[in-house]
Amino acid sequence: MSSPAVSPAVQPLTRLREEEELFRTSVRTFATDVIAPRVRQMDEAAQYDPELLPQLFALGLMGIEIPEAYGGAGGTFFMACLAIEELSRVDGAVGVLVDVQNTLVNNALLRWGTAAQHAAFLPRLARDTVGAYALSEAGSGSDAFALQTRATREGDHYLLSGRKLWTTNAREAGVYIVFATVDPSKGYRGITAFLVERDFPGFALGKVEKKLGIRASSTCELLLDRCPVPRDHVLGEVGQGYRVAIETLNEGRIGIGAQMVGIASGALQAAVAYAKQREQFGQPIARFQAMRFQLAEMATEIEAARLMVYNAARLKDAGEPFVQQAAMTKYFASQVAERVTSKAVEVFGGVGYTVEAPVEKFYRDAKIGTIYEGTSFMQLHTIARYLLEP
């Protein structure tokens, strides 16, 4: 009996195309040679090494899907996920920097931006400008559209006033996608996305959060005090901000899944190396069946999560429905990252609980995966909705 035909979107899951493998190898080499020596210092200082950002731009990692005509790499969403995974294998903080740039900011502009906005912003985002995505507020977390930030029309500008919280990349960014409501009486239909530039009057950075993990990644509040934003900086149409946010976050969740797979893979790699060289009772602990089975279980869970990421990313690139798969991917990958990094600490024993071991950072970095870009509870809600309300 002949085997059934395999969809082009699914066929390459277990192997990479040649250009994808070369791309992955180049990112892995960069992460190992350039980022790894800086990880501990960046984590302790809670900021990126300033020499790192220009190199990320020079390698094309900040504009992977931006067309070559605008100075980008002209790659695919799948390639962006490969980059996020490989960077996060070394440092989840660098992984999320590249993730937000590509899967949220660049993707939103590519899908919703006008030709003039593409020409004005995409070359900058590919060349030297970090982007940030400002949706959350103090009373607007999982209920993402309970926004209090207001946008008031005044001539050829909108005046934005409000306070945004938990904005990733805020300290480094030059361009921010900021969500505000133009008419609270319209509910989510009044929400609008704006392209706000760092040097606009009335815009300022507020508190920089001190975090458990991904410490080098900046997470800040944004303060807007009658900040004038030109009408041509509206992203999409007025009142369509909820669609911009929902559709972009659906894609971003696949990127977070890739980050979690990378973090878990880095922790497993460290645990395997340690188990081979750590001796107890006259032999390496890797020879004990209990340890071998634990490492095998960790590897199996990571592989399952990786294939979920790859499947969701392939579906997105193929133009197929992927929302349920994206929710499943983020939920499962974040759970796997928590379990694997916790077990990796146990493999190291007492030293694993100290900053001398690499696994404690992977353990701290993993936790955020169950929280940002939609909590695990919200992912389960989405999965159940597609399952029960077709």
User: Which residues are annotated as catalytic?
Assistant: 373
CA dihedral 204, 209, 214, 217 (to 10 degrees): 10
Amino acid in position 76: T
Please give the Cα distance from 223 to 170 (Å, whole number). Answer: 11
Number of residues that this document lists for the chain: 390
Place of tokens 């009142």: 239
Q: What are the E-state strand segments in the chain?
A: 130-134, 150-154, 157-168, 173-181, 191-197, 203-208, 219-230, 234-235, 279-280, 283-284
Kindly report the CA angle at 39 between 38 and 40, in degrees rounded to 5? 100
CA dihedral 210, 211, 217, 223 (to 10 degrees): -50
Place of tokens 């509040």: 221
First to last CA, the chain: 33
Place of tokens 């277990």: 14
Question: Is the sign of the CA dihedral 210, 212, 217, 222 positive or negative?
Answer: negative
Please give the Cα distance from 57 to 126 (Å, whole number). Answer: 7
